[in-house]
Amino acid sequence: MPLDHTDSERRDPRQITAVEYGRMADAYARAVAPAADQLSLGLGLRLVRASGAFVKAAEIEVQRPLKLNWSYFSTIYVISVFKSLEARTIARFTGLTRQAVSIVLAGMEKAGLVIRSSGNQEDGRLVSIRFTDQGEETASRSVQDQLRFSEKWFSVLDRDERAELNRLLEKLLEKGPQQAGRRDQ
């Protein structure tokens, strides 16, 4: 079935709002796959777009002034929770690849934010990561600034909506089909 792109072709994409784009994307999906669960597709697309918008805004407002980016912040946050841990565990909880974590840690080490030490007596190849004093200060500030930013960003939702969104996202993370047969690395 040929797709009708007349509306999207007539309009300047720079003039289309995010909500309008979402509606146009939904219409496109219905045309391409009319038998598919359109609601699930829309949820997936909106989840990715919302996540991207949140990260982009947080990087601009919070992370860049601290000379960080989202990968650095998510790594800092995980280290803050555990105080000392291995790079593979950081990768597991940030969603970054091990290679990306290695690059982030190298940059953080060069900046004087973390130190690596061989802390595993059974396997000397495993290295623990922990903050330096400067890293502790940077972590404290970035986490506090990020929390204030998050409060502002999610203020469009009332408390019950935030709680429900949190509950639903936790459910997806815990029970989503992507978890089937997957081992934590």
- CATH class of the domain whose range is 57-176: mainly alpha
- Distance from C-alpha of 76 to C-alpha of 63, rounded to nearest angstrom: 11
Q: What sections of 33-116 are H helices per DSSP?
A: 38-58, 70-82, 87-94, 98-110
The domain segmentation of the chain, as residue ranges, is: 57-176
**Digit-coded pLDDT (tens) for 22-81:** 888 888 888 888 888 878 888 888 898 899 999 999 999 999 999 999 999 999 999 999
Task: Give the per-residue pLDDT at 1.
Answer: 43
- Lowest mean pLDDT of 8-22, 100-114, 170-184, name the range: 170-184
In sequence order, what are the residues at sequence separation of 6 or more whose Cβ sits closer than 8 angstroms to the Cβ of residue 134? 112, 113
Residue 185 pLDDT class (50, 70, 90 cuts): very low
Q: Residue 144: pLDDT above 90?
A: yes
Residue predicted with more confidence, 113 or 1 = 113
